[in-house]
């Protein structure tokens, strides 16, 4: 009797540990952007372009789901859920919170990919926490998660606009030189995301910040 109790108890604990390990091997990679054909090639939609690039590398297709579109990619035993919210930028947090809760993904296992005016074009900066920097998508996520401690990858779009033209610049299309450079820059984003998933936040920051 004690043997069976001990064996079944141990087996149950192992199953619980396996389940916990499975959750820790699941990541939510969120590309921020706005839906609609008019926004496809805008600077503000670099998050969408980034997850599109990662999905294409893995030959994964997006499916329409609640609050967005989702693609699933497997990398060395890890599951990456690539999410493009369809809530428009200002309500991005609703989609992030929903899929974190639905898939039981830990906060440290999400990565938000977004544009940043304060970085030179194509420059990457990964952080585990920080302010929203005036970015409406990050403001929404911060409000829904009730805090600023969540990993994010910022992609520099530079600030080459005249006074009063910020909105037009952010929602404007990439220039010819930027468009030509984007594939190489998106490949760098993909490598940084994989580093984050496989080696952790600190390694990703050490190896890709400023790249």
Pairing of strands 63-65, 110-116: unpaired
Q: In whole angstroms, give the CA distance from residue 31 to residue 93.
A: 12
Cα(63)–Cα(51) distance, rounded to whole angstroms?
13
Q: Please, is 110 exposed, middle or buried when counting C-beta atoms within 10 Å of its C-beta (0-12, 13-18, 19+)?
A: buried
Q: Out of 26, 43, 44, 135, pick the active-site residue.
A: 44
Length of the chain: 211
Contact 51/61 with Cβ under 8 angstroms? no
Instruction: Work out the end-to-end distance of the chain between its first and last CA atoms, rounded to an integer number of angstroms.
Output: 61
**In the annotation, is 44 catalytic?**
yes
Scanning the structure block, which residue is given the tokens 């609050």? 67
If residue 74 lies in a helix (H) or strand (E), which one and from where to where?
strand 68-75
CA distance 83 to 51: 7
Q: What is the torsional sign of CA 86, 52, 147, 139?
A: negative
Catalytic residue numbers read: 44
């Amino acid at each position: 009797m004690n043997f069976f109790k001990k064996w079944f108890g141990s087996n149950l604990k192992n199953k619980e540990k396996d389940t916990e390990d499975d959750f820790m091997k699941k990541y939510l990679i969120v590309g921020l952007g706005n839906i609609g054909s008019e926004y496809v090639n805008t600077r503000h939609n670099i998050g969408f372009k980034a997850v599109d690039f990662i999905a294409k590398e893995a030959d994964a297709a997006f499916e329409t789901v609640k609050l967005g579109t989702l693609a699933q990619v497997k990398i060395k035993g890890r599951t990456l859920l690539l999410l493009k919210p369809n809530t428009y930028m200002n309500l991005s947090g609703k989609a992030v919170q929903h899929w974190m809760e639905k898939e039981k993904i830990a906060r440290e296992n999400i990565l938000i990919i977004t544009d940043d005016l304060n970085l030179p074009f194509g420059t990457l900066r990964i952080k585990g926490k920080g302010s929203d920097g005036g970015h409406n998508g990050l403001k929404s996520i911060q409000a829904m998660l009730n805090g600023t401690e969540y990993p994010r990858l910022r992609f520099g779009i530079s600030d080459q606009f005249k006074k009063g033209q910020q909105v037009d610049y952010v929602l404007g299309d990439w220039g010819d030189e930027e468009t030509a450079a984007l594939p190489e820059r998106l490949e760098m984003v993909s490598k940084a995301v994989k580093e984050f998933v496989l080696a952790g936040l600190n390694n990703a920051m050490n190896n890709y910040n400023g790249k």
